[in-house]
Chain A
Amino acid sequence: MACRRREGPEVAAPKILMQRALDRPGESHVLEAYEAAGGYRAARKALDMSPEALIEEVKKSGLRGRGGAGFPTGTKWSFTPRDSQKPRYLLCNSDESEPGTFKDRWLLENDPHAVLEGMMIAAIAIDSHLMFNYFRGEFSYPLSRWRAAVDEAYRKGYLGRGIFGTDYDLEVVTHCGAGAYIAGEETGMLESLEGKKAQPRNKPPFPAVEGLFRSPTLINNTETLATVPWIIEHGADAYMQYGTEKSRGTKLWSCSGPIANPGVYELEMGHDLMEFLEGDLGGMLEGVGLKGIIPGGSSVPVLTAEECRGAKMDYEGLRERGSLVGSGGFIVIGDNASAVDCLLNLAHFYTHESCGQCTPCREGCGWIEQLVRKILAGRGTQGDLETILRVSDLMAGKTICALADAMAWPAVAFIKKYPEEFAALCADPVDMDALAAAVGKVDHILPKAS
């Protein structure tokens, strides 16, 4: 079985985000390679464009946030007030910690200049002169690549006073986190950057209006920003050639689980899911069958093998199947694993990561974990399963941030889709019709086709 080195690109088809690494594996992170491939042309172009035109171009491209929520990027940029007397800040979210996701790490290691150039363009668009990159604390190796890239850019005069020979000043501060999933939530990140516990803030006010140090702040994910230089260099029309009507462009997918070729892949939006699994991913490991796939990071609902058939990997396609693109953490689950074990694993994660501010989240995550543990120990009852469902309903949409939903969705989805596995572990026989009825009552919390 081939070993997939992270240095090398893992895609066959030439694409927007992985092309440079594909052309010059092992050296694409260096400024010389980045510029030879056309790098920093877009930043120069952006300095010649009006902020309005820049924002318009990104809006038109249809680019949506790759951090999880899929919010239209250009629209978000346009929310930053330009008449404010306060400074404006740009914040890149490189805290990647959604289980199953490792594409931002790949970008920071293999194409740090694309991230930096994307940050520059976003800063120019909102007239910001101080940018922050909030880096996941554990990412020492990507950090070494990133710091080297920033040093190169400063030496060349691409950062600092009067960048690219203009009178535009631009500084960047790299800020390392210290281990907290919730610091990836945008307002938790603001608190963290201000030197406090990463406890998310109530919204409104939104960060665009009152963010870092009470100033307007634009927050985008690493992958979102890394896509921007290509759009500015080649134009929104070129970007729109890729993908589907509503999901434009390409997206990175972090693929893990018992498959032949795990790794990071770039796909055009709208790719057929099973074709991807059986093609690029090389199918399941020998002797392992497909139980299901969590397509967008641990927070999104699992799809059964049946639901995977014919599914399209884009915003609408996955929603139509009751799941989401999320962060693009594509976790393949084999038939050797138990759905109950999977839910316990995730419940433990969310219990550990809840920041504890909201009662439904703090208590709910822990409660779900304890009940799943009880079921796994062979002491569970029908009532316990129904309690998990009811607790999930009390969490979703009722808290300061979406972490509570990120626990509630997998809980309901695993029980809904693999009820026999839960029932088989319970101490007494479970009335499957009654369980299905209980699922029906909370089904409304799961994502649906809009």
Chain B
Amino acid sequence: MTPFALPDAAVAEIDRVIARYPEKQAAMLPVLWVVQRERGWICPDAMVWVGDRLGCSASAVQAVVRFYTMFDEEPVGRWKLQVCRTLSCELMGARAVIDRIRERLGVEAGETTADGEFTLQEVECLGSCGTGPMMQCNLKFYENLTPDRVEALLSELRRGRPDFHDVQPVIYERPDMETYRAMFPRSGARRDGVSAERGA
């Protein structure tokens, strides 16, 4: 097995980052960010490597990787769809958007499609509550989503246009009332327990 290694440029970047902090271990998050950017996820060998660099144990690195939700300890799909499930988005119909993605991709939250194209995750408030429902796809935000819009987006993502890699958010027009009414949560009715139990 070849030992873990990063391209020279990434190693140089890591050394520059470490030099900016009064103590080495403080560079933990930025160094892990470089590793994840280069490798797509953070494998056990990478944790040993980072620990060596920062003068701490691999288990200290692993504890950090596990604590922060943005670090992946397993490979993820080419497109990581992180849909906000928190209150403002739920009030505007996030559930309908998530359900459409689940149906179309045939995966549950936390899973990756068999072809390795998509990972679906439900995440907490992403700071775009005024334009919810919204999701983050890799580094890019998509705001004012509807089930139809997200479905169209999935096909476009499969085709993989280059502008899906920049960070400028895509903010759709707010949908009309009819669309909203179809996606708004319904209240009052006693649940059969299925939707309330999901994710328990």
Question: Which A residues contact B (CB, under 8 angstroms)?
Answer: 1-6, 87, 96-102, 104-105, 130, 136-141, 143-144, 173, 175-181, 192-198, 213, 254-258, 262-264, 285-287, 294, 298, 329, 331, 333-338, 341-342, 344-346, 348-349, 352-353, 370, 373, 376-379, 421, 424-425
**Min distance, Cβ B181 to any Cβ of chain A, angstroms:** 7
**Min distance, Cβ A99 to any Cβ of chain B, angstroms:** 4
A178, B70: Cα distance in complex, Å: 5
**Min distance, Cβ B142 to any Cβ of chain A, angstroms:** 12
Instruction: Say yes or no: A173-B173 contact (C-beta < 8 A), given A180-B69, A373-B200.
Output: no
A447, B168: Cα distance in complex, Å: 40
Are B176's CB and A100's CB within 8 A?
no
Instruction: Say yes or no: A138-B70 contact (C-beta < 8 A), given A213-B23, A333-B91.
Output: yes
Are B86's CB and A197's CB within 8 A?
no
Question: Which B residues contact A (CB, under 8 angstroms)?
Answer: 20-23, 25-30, 32-33, 54, 56, 60, 63-64, 67-71, 85-88, 90-92, 123-132, 136, 139-141, 144, 167-169, 171-174, 176-177, 180-181, 184-188, 190-193, 196-197, 199-200
Are B32's CB and A178's CB within 8 A?
yes
A262, B168: Cα distance in complex, Å: 20
The residues of A that contact B68 with a CB separation of less than 8 Å are: 137, 177-180, 198
Instruction: Show 23 A/B contacts (Cβ-Cβ < 8 Å), sorted by A.
Output: A1-B173, A4-B130, A99-B86, A102-B130, A138-B126, A178-B32, A178-B71, A195-B28, A256-B132, A262-B129, A263-B130, A264-B130, A285-B177, A331-B91, A333-B91, A338-B188, A342-B87, A345-B87, A373-B200, A377-B191, A377-B197, A378-B192, A379-B193
A380, B193: Cα distance in complex, Å: 11
Are B90's CB and A341's CB within 8 A?
yes
Contact pick for A346, options B60, B87, B188, CB 8 Å:
B87
Are A96's CB and B127's CB within 8 A?
yes
A338, B188: Cα distance in complex, Å: 6
Are B91's CB and A97's CB within 8 A?
no
Are B125's CB and A194's CB within 8 A?
no
The residues of B that contact A198 with a CB separation of less than 8 Å are: 67-68
Nearest CB in chain B to that of A332: its residue? B91
Among A139, A179, A331, A424, residue most surrounded by chain B Cβ atoms (within 10 Å): A179
The residues of A that contact B144 with a CB separation of less than 8 Å are: 3
Nearest CB in chain B to that of A262: its residue? B130
Are B129's CB and A100's CB within 8 A?
yes
Instruction: Say yes or no: A195-B136 contact (C-beta < 8 A), given A254-B129, A287-B181.
Output: no
Are B141's CB and A141's CB within 8 A?
yes
The residues of B that contact A104 with a CB separation of less than 8 Å are: 127
Are A336's CB and B54's CB within 8 A?
no
A333, B186: Cα distance in complex, Å: 13
The residues of A that contact B70 with a CB separation of less than 8 Å are: 137-138, 178-179
User: Other than the known A6-B171, A195-B54, what 8 A-B pairs have Cβ atoms closer than 8 Å?
Assistant: A143-B167, A176-B33, A195-B64, A197-B64, A213-B26, A287-B181, A335-B187, A345-B86
A378, B185: Cα distance in complex, Å: 18
Contact pick for A102, options B22, B54, B129, CB 8 Å:
B129
Instruction: Say yes or no: A102-B167 contact (C-beta < 8 A), given A192-B29, A344-B196.
Output: no
A331, B125: Cα distance in complex, Å: 13
The residues of B that contact A286 with a CB separation of less than 8 Å are: 177
Are B87's CB and A140's CB within 8 A?
no
A112, B98: Cα distance in complex, Å: 33
A334, B197: Cα distance in complex, Å: 23
Contact pick for B28, options A196, A331, A346, CB 8 Å:
A196
**Min distance, Cβ B38 to any Cβ of chain A, angstroms:** 16
Are B91's CB and A257's CB within 8 A?
yes
Are B26's CB and A194's CB within 8 A?
yes
The residues of A that contact B85 with a CB separation of less than 8 Å are: 345, 348
The residues of A that contact B64 with a CB separation of less than 8 Å are: 195-197
Are A3's CB and B173's CB within 8 A?
yes
Are B184's CB and A336's CB within 8 A?
yes
Instruction: Say yes or no: A105-B127 contact (C-beta < 8 A), given A178-B70, A345-B87.
Output: yes
**Min distance, Cβ A91 to any Cβ of chain B, angstroms:** 12
A285, B185: Cα distance in complex, Å: 14
Among A87, A100, A294, residue most surrounded by chain B Cβ atoms (within 10 Å): A100
The residues of B that contact A378 with a CB separation of less than 8 Å are: 190-193
**Min distance, Cβ B53 to any Cβ of chain A, angstroms:** 11
**Min distance, Cβ A150 to any Cβ of chain B, angstroms:** 13
The residues of B that contact A195 with a CB separation of less than 8 Å are: 23, 25-29, 54, 56, 64
Contact pick for B25, options A3, A194, A257, A329, CB 8 Å:
A194
Are B92's CB and A257's CB within 8 A?
yes
Contact pick for A349, options B22, B23, B29, B125, CB 8 Å:
B125
Are B197's CB and A99's CB within 8 A?
no
Nearest CB in chain B to that of A182: its residue? B67
Instruction: Say yes or no: A99-B125 contact (C-beta < 8 A), given A6-B171, A173-B20, A255-B130.
Output: yes
Among B28, B70, B130, B141, residue most surrounded by chain A Cβ atoms (within 10 Å): B130
The residues of B that contact A105 with a CB separation of less than 8 Å are: 127-128
Are B88's CB and A425's CB within 8 A?
no
